[in-house]
Amino acid sequence: MLKEKIAARGLPALMRMNDGRAVKTPDDWRARRKELIELLSREEYGFTPAAPDKVSGDIETSADAFAGKAVQQTVRLSFDTPKGPFSFPITLVVPKAVKKAPVFVCVAFRPNVPDTGLPAEEIVDHGFAIANIFYKDVTDDSAVPDGLAALYPRDEKTGWGKIGMWAFASSRVLDYLETREDIDHTRAAVIGHSRLGKTALWCGAQDERFSLVISNDSGCSGAAISRGKVGESVDRIAHVFPFWFCGNYQAWRGRDEEAPFDPPMLLALVAPRKLYVCSAEEDSWADPESEFLGCVAASEAWTIHRVPGLITPDELPRVGEPLMDGGICYHVRAGSHFLSRTDWLYHMACRERFGV
Ligand code: GCU
């Protein structure tokens, strides 16, 4: 049943090199991975500039939080760009009960910690640290080329869009976390919701240091297959939010069937690490079924590494029954478009169970 549903979407070949050769081994995959990053950079998100040599962090404030169970800090991260230094603040919360805490790098809609969509005390109680980035501290969510956008040359067709910039900043947070003794940077997850779920995916696709990549309700141009998708389309997203993408993405408006790429390629770039895709039952704009089928279609990139991708019965998923056993995890929870405590409890259960 799922096989037929995937076949009906007419996806471009994931496991074939550009020259038509089949991708059969993990070594082949390394080469295919490069092609896919090139393709998605050129046609959708834009090319990401090279990482800076060094990211430094100045601790601006530090205080006990959550009844003294954690330390909460404001840290200003700085690095050099082609047009001078850039800095942005993050909020870091580190539980005291853990020597080296695994961390959630949260690319977030608000700077507040805790916040709606970020049950910080509960996360601390599970032994996880939080590094929260307020996305507009990196660059505005508009066509305005401020912040990071002003500091790199940008090609009109292939230069990075805002999703690429927020993703790049999330990687710079991990650069900094690698310098901290109290963080287990080998267990770093990048997580985002909606447009920031797209961001988390593009970040984790490129940056293999993240051991877990979590997309919450990312939908169009995120986890959901574009071909045959309901709700939001590439045509519409590229029209309303052109600045999230590179200039070339405009050429694919209304041409899903012809595009040489589709979101399962983005998901596949996380292989063989752990990927967690989350949907909400009422979120028809994002299209839960297309998000789920995206995971099924991407699974081949895991099986080539002898890791099962999404382990699922041959049927559409049931609400509130997460699938966590494979390299790809998926759940659809009850309710609407939101990063909910319910989602967090599943993410943490997954991390605890698999040590990611
Ligand atoms: C809009 C947009 C979506 C996006 C969402 C969000 O609804 O169409 O693609 O995911 O905003 O970020 O909340």
Does residue 322 belong to any structural domain of this protein?
no
Of 107, 109, 110, 194, the residue with max ligand 1 atoms within 8 A of its CB, to mutate for a pocket test, comes to 194
pLDDT of residue 282: 98
Cβ of 211 less than 6 Å from ligand 1: no
Distance 99 CA to ligand 1 centre (A): 38
User: CATH code at 168?
Assistant: 3.40.50.1820
**H/E segment holding residue 56:** strand 56-65
Give the model's pLDDT for residue 275.
99
Q: Determine, yes or no, domain membership for 37.
A: yes
pLDDT, position 163: 99
State residue 195's pLDDT score: 98
219 CA distance to ligand 1 middle (Å): 8
pLDDT 10s digits, 282-309? 999 999 999 999 999 999 999 999 999 9
336 CA to centre of ligand 1 in angstroms: 13
The tens digit of pLDDT for each residue in 194-211 reads: 999 999 999 999 999 999
pLDDT tens, position by position, 152-183? 999 999 999 999 999 999 999 999 999 999 99
Ligand 1 centre to CA of 217 (Å) is 9
Pocket test for ligand 1, best of 285, 287, 338, 339 (most atoms within 8 A of CB): 285
Residue 207 lies in a domain: yes
* Whole-angstrom distance, CA of residue 90 vs CA of residue 47: 25
Whole-number pLDDT of residue 99: 97
d(CA 212, CA 196): 15
Q: Which residues contact 4 (CB under 8 A, 6 or more apart)?
A: none
Taking the CA of residue 337 as reference, the ligand 1 atom at the shortest distance is 13
Instruction: Compute the distance between CA of residue 167 and CA of residue 47 in angstroms, rounded to an integer.
Output: 12
Instruction: Specify the residue with its C-alpha closest to ligand 1, atom 11.
Output: 195
Alpha-carbon span 234 to 223, nearest angstrom:
13
Cα–ligand 1 centroid distance for 63 (angstroms): 35
Q: 69 burial class (0-12, 13-18, 19+ CB within 10 angstroms)?
A: middle
Does 194 sit in the ligand 1 pocket, CB within 6 Å? Answer: yes
Q: How far is the CA of 201 from the centre of ligand 1 (A)?
A: 15
Q: Which of 136, 195, 241 to mutate to test the pocket of ligand 1 (most atoms within 8 A of CB)?
A: 195
Average pLDDT of the residues of the chain: 98
Return the residue whose CA atom lies nearest to atom 13 of ligand 1. Answer: 194
Confidence of residue 135 (pLDDT cuts 50, 70, 90): very high
Tell me if 212 is assigned to some domain.
yes
Q: 232: Cβ below 6 Å to ligand 1? A: yes
Span 347-352, average pLDDT: 98
Whether residue 283 has its Cβ less than 6 Å from ligand 1: no
**Percentage of the chain exceeding pLDDT 90:** 100
Is pTM, for the whole model, over 0.85? Answer: yes
Residue 321 belongs to a domain: no
Q: Is residue 320 part of a domain?
A: no
How far away, in angstroms, is 23 Cα from ligand 1 center? 34
Whole-number Cα distances in Å, 201 to 193, 205, 304: 10, 6, 21
Which tokens sit at 229?
Answer: 């998708």
CB of 177 closer than 6 angstroms to any ligand 1 atom: no
Q: What's the CA gap between 327 and 311, in Å, rounded?
A: 8
Number of domains in the chain: 1
Range of the domain at 165: 2-315+327-354
